[in-house]
Amino acid sequence: MPWTLEAKIEAEHRVRELLRAGGMPQPDEVEYGYTCVRFLFHESKTCVVIDLDECGGDIGPGPGTQSG
């Protein structure tokens, strides 16, 4: 199943918020793969990969959010 650009953007926003809440640095680059989003941190030479297939297709509103 190809993931929509909207789903990838939502995943990026959720990870960025998680990093911000934890006082962690923001990524230097973000890449959208076919079924994943990659977060690249140049200084530490780290890449965090969020595999959207593992989300089961549900990346709806995060905890504490309301819809409708």
Q: Tell me the per-residue pLDDT of 21-60, one tens digit each, with 9 for 90 and over.
A: 999 999 999 999 999 999 999 999 999 999 988 655 454 4
Give residue 1's pLDDT.
55
Asked whether the predicted pLDDT for residue 67 surpasses 70, the reply is: no
Q: Which residue has the higher pLDDT, 62 or 15?
A: 15
pLDDT (0 to 100) of residue 47 = 97
Sign of the Cα pseudo-torsion (44, 41, 21, 67, in order):
negative
Q: What are the tokens at 4?
A: 């929509």
Q: What is the pTM (predicted TM-score) of this model? A: 0.74
Query: How many domains does the chain fold into?
Result: 1
> Which residues constitute the domain of residue 27?
5-52
In a domain, 36, yes or no: yes
The answer to whether residue 24 sits within a structural domain is yes
